[in-house]
Chains A and B, each alone.
Chain A
């Protein structure tokens, strides 16, 4: 009761506003747009720390006074140290290095990076730098610190810099690198490697200790097959490369790792078979990757858009796949594969149109089944692209081509429909696209049921209300089914866009318009090149091909690698891949 009275009173009386008007606003200030240099290192602090040498300012330590020579030596050491650090190289004085690292990584504000100072063999000062969460703590706790802190192992060591001694005798880590450049050290630390700085050494040791959380190897989400391996890539680069290595056990398989992106330095692996992939192609790929000047690459999708030949073409120029076995077949043909950290996909290039509608299942099954499936997919593509456009062209311009009974049934069904044909078909197409898009967003079981029920109810209700003729529902549904048959998602999206183009062209000029569409799209597609390979090889231009374009001939007939890739080694197999057929009874 009192509460209500109080609220009423507050409503009527005046109260001074507490907050400033508008709440929080993100306004412009003079810092915006100004490019900051990456190195905002506070050199004064570094120098101060270096000169004083004190780690803790609060505790005063009484030291014996130094002689002039010693004083000169330390001063010289300090100045050289600072000089080397300014050149991004490791300095011999540990304090300078530590301070530099702290400035670079914004410690202690940044609580992810840990700087662990300790003494090696209770004598030499050293420090470990690593990112918490990226390293496997077991390795540091059991394999680095105990061995380094153990005085026994350092008994036979006399000298200034124990780096080589540690590498050879003390540490039991499987991968150890020595380096001098801070650029590399910071990159590796951010990748999960532990850096070991030792006082008095101008080299730093990078100890392999990666152990972050990652998704286990799972089934492929988008490219499911019935008969074939059920492993797919995941987001970790090492896992992906391992999956590839398990499939191609060849010593000539090369994986070059190139970091891409200025601010986030994503690792990209370029994988190819030395001696099979064309050299100029490899060089071109590396050239493009190294010349990308962008701050953040989220995954292979963005990478694809940055290295492709022509961004305005409808068709994709690289193919992305989720399956290691398919990637392996691309590598064996002579293509170059790029795997990027962060997305479970691999990019293969160069490609032709026919790669976009093969699946790995075609090769796993016998040739009759493979050919049959491919023909069905061809039909699916043609229907998906052309069927609504042809329907519109037929009913608007060429009704003499429709058989009379069919015509009469369409007319009687369309009597109740108040919209013109083109509006009708656009409505249904847009509704269908909305259902498809919505079905992807909604998770799990609900998503699939929504798709089916939505399409069914929408279609049925629309027909019953008399807004759409039933023939049209069938047309839209069949063309939608056709586009589901397309295995590659980029191609399927391209075909969906082309379908709309054909609808407009068919509505404006009938079959003439559709022919114009076919001509222009065909010519533009034939003009397209994917990394120097014309898009419709090996049909146009005619090159010596594997008999594996649409009709797939048996595997023992596919003897050569594709000609358009210009591989150094053309032959896949010897002259007689099934030798056992000729030799009867022999081994």
Chain B
């Protein structure tokens, strides 16, 4: 008897299922938004841009080929809408988009700098985090122009699908260190954090303004590589969008920016720097440069002491690197000359680091995460919150120490001079 009852129960469940149950959503019945851009709107409070992959129109669907083609055949269209809130925007978009917008595969959130500086980022993120559909692992980018422009320009440049593009672009943080692969999780964590302040990736559309077509050729002035904000790199063509540098927030309001170079140093100080090439001036012949492929040798160490309420921090960084080129052909591989080069590199990095630290101190934003160690001096959460570390950051006395060691010199173990005829021989 009980078996009959059990089967009836099961049968009832199964019968209901065949009608295509409540939450069953076919993959083709929804539209997976890949990028969302948020601006301050004019006709309404928010201006939201959605980038939608679509298989309509372009791309031929032949008989045998159509079914077998995998992954390709997408064209990316955008929709911009002004709405009083994010979810209102989602729904109003469906007045013209036939399929329901689905946010579970959104990989990029773009805020405009204007919006960030008005302090509206937190206001926007609150509903997203609660909704649970946008994953915490999606990246957040602050764009210099309008987010709409950024989203419109972000099309697959090399690959076929935008998700690969975004993932690969964010991977470059590990390759060059010019920005950090920051996700919504990091942003939200830091917004609420009592330990430190948030940072976000800086992006922009590079319209090629800095790329001067005609003019005098460059002399021998030394420019620090990567010391630009996003969108300022002098280049032409290529992918229109550009990611470089970090934005600094106080709470949820953007207060400053770091260039690519400064972001690298920030990563080194935090211990998350993977590798990157620093280009320094040759100490013995300042017209030439020496690029060094740098890695972190050890995690940075810092000690925090408290003098009353003023923190005293001593930061010690240990990095190592390989020499990639010696333009002046001075034999720095010689053990007698190596310390000179090392000292030069250390000085260079220390200067940059100090510059970055001063910048953040002026803005009173602890993005270096010194607070993480400072908290160990406190017993309970009550004491820590009463102290309010974020407000004391600007008073902190921070001293830095950099140690650099040259590990390898590449394929050449000795540099020697180029031979000229006559007086050019040095």
- Chain A residues within 8 Å of B, Cβ to Cβ: 312, 395-397, 399-400, 404-405, 407-417, 420-422, 463-464, 466, 469-470, 504-505, 507-510, 513, 520
Contact = CB atoms under 8 A, between A and B. Distances in A.
B67 A464 contact: yes
B26 A395 contact: yes
Given A312-B3, A508-B17, A407 B25 contact: no
Interface stretch (B71-79, B250-258, B266-274): B71-79
Interface stretch (B58-66, B114-122, B343-351, B415-423): B58-66
B95 interface: no
Nearest to B17: A508
Interface residues of B, number: 40
Contacts of A505: 13-14, 17
B67 A409 contact: no
Interface in B297-324: none
By Cβ-Cβ distance, the 10 closest A-B pairs, closest first, are: A508-B17, A400-B104, A404-B163, A409-B71, A396-B24, A409-B70, A463-B67, A504-B14, A508-B21, A404-B105
Contacts of B27: 395, 399, 407, 410-411, 414, 421
Specify which of A416, A470, A508, A520 lies most central, judged by the most chain B CB atoms within 10 Å of its CB: A508
B70 A470 contact: yes
B55 A405 contact: no
B32 interface: yes
Interface in B14-69: 14, 16-18, 20-21, 23-28, 30, 32, 53, 55, 61, 63-64, 66-69
A466 B28 CA distance: 14
A414 B102 CA distance: 17
Contacts of B70: 409, 412-413, 470
B17 A507 contact: yes
10 contacts: A395-B27, A396-B26, A404-B107, A410-B27, A411-B28, A412-B55, A413-B70, A416-B67, A505-B17, A507-B20
Specify which of A396, A407, A408 lies most central, judged by the most chain B CB atoms within 10 Å of its CB: A408
B85 interface: no
A412 B25 contact: no
A121 B417 CA distance: 131
B17 A405 contact: no
Given A399-B27, A508-B14, A508-B16, A411 B105 contact: no
B161 interface: yes
Given A408-B163, A411-B27, 10 more contacts: A396-B25, A407-B105, A411-B28, A411-B32, A412-B70, A412-B73, A466-B66, A504-B14, A508-B13, A520-B10
Contacts of B30: 399
Given A397-B25, A405-B164, A411 B55 contact: yes
A412 B27 CA distance: 10
The main secondary structure of chain A at its interface with chain B is helix
A404 B33 CA distance: 11
Interface string B155-175: 000000101100000000000
Contacts of A397: 23-25
A473 to B, nearest CB: 10
Given A463-B68, A464-B67, A408 B161 contact: yes
Given A312-B3, A405-B163, A405-B164, A510 B23 contact: yes
B392 interface: no
A470 B68 contact: yes
Nearest to A312: B3
A415 to B, nearest CB: 5
B98 to A, nearest CB: 13
Contact of A421 (B21, B26, B104): B26
Contacts of A399: 25, 27, 30, 32, 102, 104-105
B100 interface: no
B359 interface: no
Contacts of B102: 399
Nearest to B31: A411
Contacts of B207: none
Specify which of B16, B23, B64, B72 lies most central, judged by the most chain A CB atoms within 10 Å of its CB: B23
A427 to B, nearest CB: 14
Given A400-B104, A408-B163, A416-B61, A504 B135 contact: no
A391 to B, nearest CB: 11
A408 B14 contact: no
A312 B28 CA distance: 40
Contacts of B55: 411-412, 415
Contacts of A400: 104-105, 133, 135
A470 B67 contact: yes
Nearest to A462: B67
Given A400-B135, A464-B64, A412 B69 contact: yes
Contacts of A422: 18, 20
A416 B73 CA distance: 13
Contacts of B16: 508
A402 to B, nearest CB: 8
A411 B71 CA distance: 8
A421 B29 CA distance: 11
Nearest to A465: B67
Nearest to A469: B67
Given A400-B135, A508-B13, A520-B10, A407 B74 contact: no
